[in-house]
């Protein structure tokens, strides 16, 4: 066992570029595997099973020291160390410092890109209570007290939703209407007076 370790250390001392090379190959394979997994599954690395009543703008799976960013560090570290020793003929210390700097840069870029990709997922809640007092257009004609549909903008998008005419007058298609009440996922509307 000790002779195997001595042989390995002798091999590393004779060919230090192999350390960087094997780190680069292994971490690149892991990085690509994790990137493919992220592309197909959304990439959540950790499961938080607690139930909180507050919404936050952060995700525990995209920290600076996530599996993805650490793998990116070793990928940059390995390839830069290998290139510094074999292509640029730098010494061991300079190669290590350059490899560390490039690895840190890869780590930072990976964490930033994953964070930005995660922010692209926009969670939209369709809370119809937000339509209260909003003005929209009658999409269909309403007889007094009847149901129909209105076109109204709330929660950041234009929507066609079910509504009930609360007045004693008819509302024609394309008339302006105001939401006066929201109950049981129905909007209660009245015609806007001109």
Checking if the pLDDT of 18 tops 80, the result is yes
Whether residue 47 is contained in a domain is answered as no
135 and 73 fall within a common domain: no
Whether residue 49 is contained in a domain is answered as no
Is the distance from CB of 151 to CB of 177 less than 8 angstroms? no
Single pTM value for the model: 0.51
71 and 163 fall within a common domain: no
Give the H/E segment covering residue 6. helix 2-14
pLDDT (mean) for 167-189: 90
Number of domains into which the chain is organized: 2
Structural domain including 34 reads: 2-42+62-119
168 and 75 fall within a common domain: no
84 and 160 fall within a common domain: no
14 and 90 fall within a common domain: yes
Return phi, psi of residue 83, to 5°. -65, -40
Checking if the pLDDT of 38 tops 60, the result is yes
74 and 163 fall within a common domain: no
What 3-state DSSP class applies to 107? helix
Whether residue 55 is contained in a domain is answered as no
First to last CA, the chain: 92
Is the distance from CB of 63 to CB of 70 less than 8 angstroms? no
80 and 150 fall within a common domain: no
Is the distance from CB of 129 to CB of 141 less than 8 angstroms? no
110 and 148 fall within a common domain: no
pLDDT (mean) for 63-74: 82
Q: Residue 139 maps to which CATH number?
A: 2.40.50.140
pLDDT of residue 82: 94
pLDDT of residue 124: 59
68 and 100 fall within a common domain: yes
31 and 106 fall within a common domain: yes
């Amino acid at each position: 066992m000790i002779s195997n370790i001595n042989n390995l250390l002798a091999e590393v001392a004779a060919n230090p570029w192999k350390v960087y090379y094997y780190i680069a190959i292994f971490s690149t394979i892991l990085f690509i595997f994790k990137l493919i997994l992220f592309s197909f599954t959304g990439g959540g690395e950790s499961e938080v099973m607690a139930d909180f009543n507050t919404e936050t703008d952060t995700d525990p799976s995209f920290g600076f020291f996530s599996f993805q960013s650490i793998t990116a560090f070793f990928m940059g570290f390995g390839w830069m160390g290998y290139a510094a020793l074999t292509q640029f003929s730098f010494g061991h210390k300079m190669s290590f410092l350059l490899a560390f700097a490039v690895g840190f840069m890869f780590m930072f870029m990976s964490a930033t890109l994953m964070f930005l990709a995660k922010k692209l997922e926009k969670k939209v809640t369709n809370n119809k209570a937000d339509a209260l007092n909003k003005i929209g257009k009658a999409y269909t004609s309403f007889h007094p007290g009847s149901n129909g549909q209105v076109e109204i903008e709330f929660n950041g998008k234009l929507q066609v939703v079910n509504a009930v005419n609360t007045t004693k007058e008819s509302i024609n298609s394309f008339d302006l209407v105001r939401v006066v009440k929201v109950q049981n996922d129905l909007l209660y509307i009245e015609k806007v007076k001109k």
